[in-house]
Chain A
């Protein structure tokens, strides 16, 4: 059982380049989330999804887009990367309403924008 898998684990971009982070979960979870983690800032929610075909903005959505075309996948896109988007990105999933609410995290994707 792989849980939550993120790819790639590391990436270096130049300012203005685009990229997509892929998150896949095999637990049949309804809810999926993308967070970014910066030193001294804790985890901040970028976007989330409460089901296939739905997405919603979190605390820091600007500069990012997401898609949830399949229940098991949640993609995070950067259309034009900026140095301020240098961070560690974590995907998470949970069972949703009626569940324990526990978040299951991936191992993280470290992105550097030069």
Chain B
């Protein structure tokens, strides 16, 4: 199967600083990537996505960067807040016909925001 990995399992940042969470993927044919946030005791929630024909996408306080040359994905969170403390997953998706969109998840990075 595919492998999706994160460089750092844990990350601690000061409130107000910017956070960068990294992700490596292995399938150069993947056409869609999503970042999810999972708070303790809850299911993952969508943060932002990016298609393989883009290299950058911005949302509210979040930016996703895609470097297809080195198969690297990153999530940048601006002005990190205590509510951003959670586990962040990247997902690599190969959209298929009649096979379901095949999602491959990394193990996650635990972000802790220090007040």
- Give A residues with C-beta under 8 Å from B: 4, 31, 33, 40-45, 48-50, 56, 59, 90, 92, 94, 96-97, 100-108
A90, B53: Cα distance in complex, Å: 30
B56 to chain A, nearest CB (A): 18
B58: Cβ under 8 A from any A Cβ: no
B30 to chain A, nearest CB (A): 11
- List residues of chain B with CB within 8 A of the CB of A106: 43
A106, B100: Cα distance in complex, Å: 18
B86-99 CB mask vs A (1 if < 8 Å, else 0) is 00010101010111
Known: A41-B107, A48-B100. A101 touches B93 (CB 8 A): yes
A101 to chain B, nearest CB (A): 5
Number of A-B contacts (CB under 8 A): 64
- Give B residues with C-beta under 8 Å from A: 1, 4, 32, 34, 36, 41-46, 49, 89, 91, 93, 95, 97-103, 105-108
The residue that A50 contacts in the complex, of B34, B49, B100, with Cβ under 8 A, is B100
- List residues of chain A with CB within 8 A of the CB of B36: 103
A97, B36: Cα distance in complex, Å: 20
- List residues of chain B with CB within 8 A of the CB of A41: 107
Please tell me if the beta carbons of A42 and B89 are within 8 angstroms of each other in the complex: yes
